[in-house]
């Protein structure tokens, strides 16, 4: 038992000489950002098969923070801040106002009464069109419908395909009837030649 404990201590001392780096990584399906323990400063190689959790626990004798729960919360944040002591005057708090002020905007669908006449900022619209919101499972959700023209051509090609399948079936049936008639005629000729 003492020998086993000594081996464990020696392995821990060897591990302590190695360099490790704590850094963020995306969940497998992209639904969260977690902390992991890495063996390189670019945070590309995990220290073990469990995103470095086991190695971190062995070294620090503690659980790696944010290794099981995402650093970024998916919960909504209340942006209302109390403006007076009576509790009836609210304004947009700094936790929401500051990021909005410095963020890229696409205010195309905001009315002039909300933004102010000719004050719309649409500088980031093109960029935002390229971004799709992912669900918690990491799946990209795209809600676009096919255009009317695309639907028309899909219908047209489907009908054409159905027509050609039916036409090929008719030709095949006609050819088979013709072959059976000629085969029947040949058999009748052979029978009549036999009895002559």
- Dump the DSSP string for 116-160: -TT----TTHHHHHT---B-TT--B----PPPHHHHHHHHHHHHH
Instruction: Tell me the pLDDT tens digit for each residue of 2-28.
Output: 565 555 555 555 555 678 999 998 887
- pLDDT tens digits along 156-191: 999 999 999 999 999 999 999 888 888 766 555 555
Tell me what pLDDT residue 196 has.
Answer: 47
pTM to 2 decimal places: 0.40
pLDDT in tens, 36-61: 999 988 888 899 998 899 989 988 88
Give the per-residue pLDDT at 111.
74
Is the Cβ–Cβ distance between 33 and 26 less than 8 Å?
yes
């Amino acid at each position: 038992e003492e020998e086993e404990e000594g081996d464990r201590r020696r392995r821990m001392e060897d591990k302590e000489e190695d360099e490790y780096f704590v850094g963020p990584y995306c969940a497998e399906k992209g639904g969260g950002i977690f902390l992991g323990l890495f063996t390189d400063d670019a945070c590309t190689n995990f220290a073990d098969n469990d995103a470095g959790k086991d190695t971190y626990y062995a070294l620090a004798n503690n659980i790696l923070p944010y290794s099981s729960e995402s650093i970024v919360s998916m919960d909504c944040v209340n942006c209302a801040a109390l403006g007076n002591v009576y509790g009836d005057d609210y304004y947009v708090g700094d936790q929401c106002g500051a990021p909005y002020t410095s963020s890229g905007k696409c205010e195309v669908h905001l009315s002039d009464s909300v933004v102010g006449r000719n004050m719309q900022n649409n500088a980031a619209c093109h960029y935002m069109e390229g971004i799709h919101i992912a669900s918690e499972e990491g799946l990209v959700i795209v809600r676009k419908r096919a255009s009317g023209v695309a639907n028309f051509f899909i219908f047209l090609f489907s009908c054409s395909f159905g027509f050609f399948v039916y036409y090929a079936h008719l030709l095949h049936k006609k050819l088979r009837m013709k072959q059976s008639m000629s085969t029947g005629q040949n058999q009748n000729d052979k029978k009549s030649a036999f009895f002559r």
